[in-house]
Amino acid sequence: MSTRRAALPPLRDRIRPGVRVLFVGINPGVRSALTGHHFAGFSNRFWKLLYDARLVPEPITYADDDRLPEWGYGITNVIARPTPGIDTLRPEEYVAGCARLRRKIQRHHPAVVALVGVTVFRALFPNRRGRRASARVTLGLQKEQIAGARVFVLPNPSGRNANFTYQEMRRAFRALARLVDRRLQPARTAAPTV
C-alpha cells in the first residue's frame, strides 16, 4: 500500500437529527477521500440518480453532500477506510463497520436505511435467508431491518457497475422516492419514557 493511500482521511458522515433516509455505502473511494465528499468518483451516478428520481428538488453534485440533511437524508459508509476498490477490505473491518453502523442507526433513528449496492446488504446480512455469497439480492424494500429501520437495497451507482443499466438504477431510486413520499413511519416500537 502506498504511503499516500495510507494517509487518506476517512470521510465525515453527513447525518443530522431528523434523518428519514440514511444512505450507506461500503467504503469511500480514493477520489472521495481526496475531495472530502461522498460518491465523488468521476463515473459515479449517485447524485444524478437522486435528482432524476426526484429524491432532491434540484441537480446537485458530490460537492453538495453537506446539503443532504436539508431534505431529511444522511450518508455514511460501513467502512471508513478509503480504498481504490473493495478487494483490500478485511473481514474484521466489515465486522467492526457493521457494529458501528448499527450504533449510528440506533442514535439517529432513520425510518429507512438505503444500502447503496448489494455488497452492502451482503456485508450486513451474510447468512440471512440461507443466502450464499453469490446468491442474487433483489433491489428494493427488504424483509430485514437494522435497529428498527427498514432496509432498502439500491444498485451501486459506480461506473464500474455493469450489473444494471442506468434505467434500472433510476427505477430503483424512484421506488425509494415513492417510499419516502408515502411519509414512512419508523418500523420500531417506541422506547419507554423514564
Secondary structure of residue 31 in the 3-state scheme: helix
What pLDDT digit, counting tens, does each position of 144-192 carry? 999 999 999 999 998 776 688 999 999 999 999 999 988 654 444 444 3
What pLDDT digit, counting tens, does each position of 106-135 carry? 999 999 999 999 999 999 998 765 555 556
What pLDDT digit, counting tens, does each position of 30-50 carry? 999 999 999 999 989 999 999
pLDDT for res 33? 92
Domain boundaries defined on the chain: 21-181
What pLDDT digit, counting tens, does each position of 42-84 carry? 989 999 999 999 999 999 999 999 999 999 999 999 999 988 8
Q: Do 41 and 132 touch, CB atoms closer than 8 A? A: no
For the domain spanning 21-181, the CATH number is 3.40.470.10
